Chain A
Amino acid sequence: KAGVTQTPRYLIKTRGQQVTLSCSPISGHRSVSWYQQTPGQGLQFLFEYFSETQRNKGNFPGRFSGRQFSNSRSEMNVSTLELGDSALYLCASSAGGMRNTGELFFGEGSRLTVL
């Protein structure tokens, strides 16, 4: 069973640009969540999509957005990049359901550097 696939793995952008990250969940998983990991901050929840609908949203500015397609693949977009957006962006999938008390399956992440 293929794991969670995130692309690209590494990217460098400059301030003011925008970036789109992609995530393909495990086959059959309908929930995709996005997290930002920065040194000293742990994993911060961005948003979760389930069956193409945003089900939860974290406390991030509107520059951070996402979407999910009918095949459960998800993309997140960050517009008007700031230096502080440099981070590892992790995607996680799970089977979903009303409330998941099971495990999340994480991808290897997309390392974004903003110069």
Chain B
Amino acid sequence: DQQVKQNSPSLSVQEGRISILNCDYTNSMFDYFLWYKKYPAEGPTFLISISSIKDKNEDGRFTVFLNKSAKHLSLHIVPSQPGDSAVYFCAAPPSNTGNQFYFGTGTSLTVIP
């Protein structure tokens, strides 16, 4: 049962435009969300996170929006750059102890120069 879902396997965007990556979750108990970026032949790296007490968190060109009523979050990248081409995963920890995270299946972003 996929508790964190990314329904778009791929996305192509022109350089300089906005990239919007979406993520849905099913468990209303999730209270913290993270985005990771993964380049080929590398491990995922942390990008940005958001707590459920917020509806927006910004870090430079990256902004994550959280809509709790819709159980939906999105990652906005503005402006998109070719170096942003990677697979993006959203993740959420269950409300128990430890470091277990549910990950989505990922969205492959291609930024076209």
Contacts and interface: CB of A to CB of B under 8 A. Distances in A.
A55 B98 contact: yes
Nearest to B46: A103
B100 A109 contact: no
Interface string A27-71: 000010101000011111100101000011010000000000000
Contacts of B25: none
B105 A99 contact: no
A103 B89 contact: no
A109 B39 CA distance: 12
A37 B41 CA distance: 12
B52 to A, nearest CB: 11
Nearest to B34: A103
A99 B49 contact: no
A96 B99 CA distance: 7
B96 interface: yes
A23 to B, nearest CB: 11
Given A42-B104, A103-B49, A108 B43 contact: yes
A33 B44 contact: no
A38 to B, nearest CB: 10
A interface secondary structure, majority: strand
A58 B99 CA distance: 11
Contact of A43 (B51, B99, B103): B103
A50 B98 CA distance: 8
A31 B101 contact: no
B43 A100 contact: no
Contacts of A58: 100
Nearest to A33: B99
Interface string A63-100: 00000000000000000000000000010101010111
A87 B2 CA distance: 18
A99 B36 CA distance: 19
Interface in B19-72: 32, 34, 36, 41-46, 49, 51
A46 to B, nearest CB: 10
Top 4 A-B pairs, shortest CB-CB distance: A106-B43, A103-B46, A42-B105, A43-B103
